[in-house]
A and B are shown apart, each in its own frame.
Chain A
Amino acid sequence: MNFYGIKAIYLFEMARTWRTIMQSIASPVLSTSLYFIVFGSAIGSRMASIDGVSYGAFIVPGLIMLSILTESISNASFGIYMPKFTGTIYEVLSAPISAVETVIGYVGAAATKSIIIGTIILITARLFVDFSIAHPVWMIAFLVLTSVTFSLFGFIIGIWADSFQKLQIVPLMIVTPLAFLGGSFYSINMLPPFWQTIALFNPVVYLVSGFRWSFYGVADVGVGISLGMTLVFMLLCLAAIGWIFRTGYKIKA
Chain B
Amino acid sequence: MKPLDSLEMPRPAGASDPIITVSGLTKTYASGFQALKKVDLEIRKGEIFALLGPNGAGKTTLISIICGIVNPSTGTVVADGHDIIRDFRPARTKIGLVPQELTTDAFESVWATVTFSRGLFGKPPNPAYLEKILKDLSLWEKRDSKIMTLSGGMKRRVMIAKALSHEPTILFLDEPTAGVDVELRRDMWEMVRGLRENGVTIILTTHYIEEAEEMADRIGVINKGEIVLVEDKHVLMQKLGKKQLTLHLQSPLSSLPAELQSANLQLSSDGTELVYTFDTQSQETGIAGLLRRLNEHGIDFKDLQTSESSLEEIFVSLVRGRA
Whether a CB of chain B sits under 8 angstroms from the CB of A8 is yes
Q: Which of B108-128 contact A (CB under 8 A)?
A: 108, 112, 115-124
In the complex, whether A243 has a CB less than 8 A from a CB of chain B is: no
CB-CB < 8 A to B92: which residues of A?
Answer: 94-96
B122 near A93 with CB under 8 A, answer no
Cβ distance A45 to chain B, nearest Cβ, rounded Å:
45
B37 to nearest A CB, angstroms? 17
- Considering the complex, give the chain A residue whose CB is closest to the CB of B115: A8
A97 touches B97 (CB 8 A): no
CB distance from A252 to the nearest CB of B (A): 5
Determine if B120 and A90 form an interchain contact, defined as CB atoms under 8 angstroms apart: no
CB-based nearest B residue for A88:
B103
B88–A96 contact, CB under 8 A?
A: yes
Name the residue on A nearest B68 (C-beta). A94
Interface pair A95/B121, CB less than 8 Å apart: yes
Say if the beta carbon of A130 comes within 8 Å of chain B.
Answer: no
Q: Which of B93, B115, B117, B123 contacts A91 (CB 8 A)?
A: B117
Chain A residue with Cβ nearest B125: A4
Q: Which residues of B contact A90 (CB under 8 A)?
A: 67, 69, 97, 99, 103
Q: A residues within 8 A CB of B88?
A: 96
Q: Does A164 contact B (CB under 8 A)?
A: no
Contact of B122 among A19, A96, A248, A252 (CB under 8 A): A96
- In the complex, whether A2 has a CB less than 8 A from a CB of chain B is yes
Q: How far is the CA of A9 from the CA of B105 in the complex (A)?
A: 13
Is the Cβ of B30 less than 8 Å from the Cβ of A87? no
Query: In the bound complex, what is the Cα–Cα distance between A15 and B64 (angstroms)?
Result: 29
Asked if residues A4 and B123 are in contact (CB atoms below 8 Å), the reply is yes
Q: Does A12 contact B (CB under 8 A)?
A: yes
Interface SS of chain A: helix, strand, loop or mixed? helix
Does chain A have a CB within 8 A of B309? no
Q: Which residue of B lies closest to A16 (CB)?
A: B107
Task: Considering the complex, give the chain B residue whose CB is closest to the CB of A9.
Answer: B120
Docked complex Cα distance between A11 and B119 (Å): 10
A96 to B29, CA, bound (A): 24
Contact B103 A86, beta carbon cutoff 8 Å: yes
For chain A, the count of residues having a C-beta within 8 Å of the partner chain is 27
Question: Please, what's the 1-or-0 string for A79-100, where 1 marks a CB less than 8 Å from any CB in chain B?
Answer: 0000000111011111111100
Using known A-B contacts A5-B122, A252-B70, A253-B30, determine if residue A94 contacts B103 with beta carbons closer than 8 Å: no
Given contacts A2-B89, A87-B101, A88-B104, contact A93 B123 (CB under 8 A): no
Q: Does B162 contact A (CB under 8 A)?
A: yes
A7 CB-CB contact with B under 8 Å: yes
Give Cα A11–Cα B31 distance, bound, in whole angstroms: 37
Question: Which single residue of chain A is at the shortest CB-CB distance from B119?
Answer: A8
- Complex interface bits, B65-107 against A, C-beta within 8 A gives 1, otherwise 0: 0011111000000000000000011111101010101011111
**Contacts known (A90-B97, A94-B95, A96-B92); A5 close to B119, Cβ less than 8 A:** yes
Task: Find the A residue at minimum CB distance from B107.
Answer: A19
Contact status B122-A2, CB under 8 Å:
yes
- Residue of A3, A94, A98 ringed by the most chain B CB atoms within 10 A: A94
Residues of A within 8 A of B116 (CB): 8, 11-12
Contact B104 A96 (CB under 8 A): no
Expressed in whole angstroms, the minimum distance between the Cβ of A132 and any Cβ of chain B is 42
User: B104 near A94 (CB under 8 angstroms)?
Assistant: no
- Specify which of A4, A9, A248 is in contact with B124 (CB 8 Å cutoff): A4
The distance in angstroms between the C-alpha atoms of A97 and B116, with both chains bound, is: 13
Task: Tell me the complex Cα distance, A97–B88, Å.
Answer: 9
- Can you pick out 25 interface pairs between chain A and chain B where the beta carbons lie within 8 Å of each other? A2-B89, A4-B122, A4-B123, A5-B119, A7-B119, A8-B115, A8-B117, A8-B118, A16-B107, A19-B107, A86-B106, A90-B69, A91-B120, A91-B162, A92-B120, A93-B69, A94-B68, A94-B69, A94-B92, A95-B120, A95-B121, A96-B91, A96-B121, A98-B89, A253-B64
A94-B97, A95-B92 known, 15 other contacts, Cβ within 8 Å: A2-B89, A3-B122, A5-B121, A5-B122, A88-B104, A91-B117, A91-B120, A93-B68, A93-B69, A96-B90, A96-B92, A97-B120, A97-B122, A98-B89, A253-B69
B interface residues, Cβ below 8 angstroms from A: 29-30, 64, 67-71, 88-93, 95, 97, 99, 101, 103-108, 112, 115-124, 162
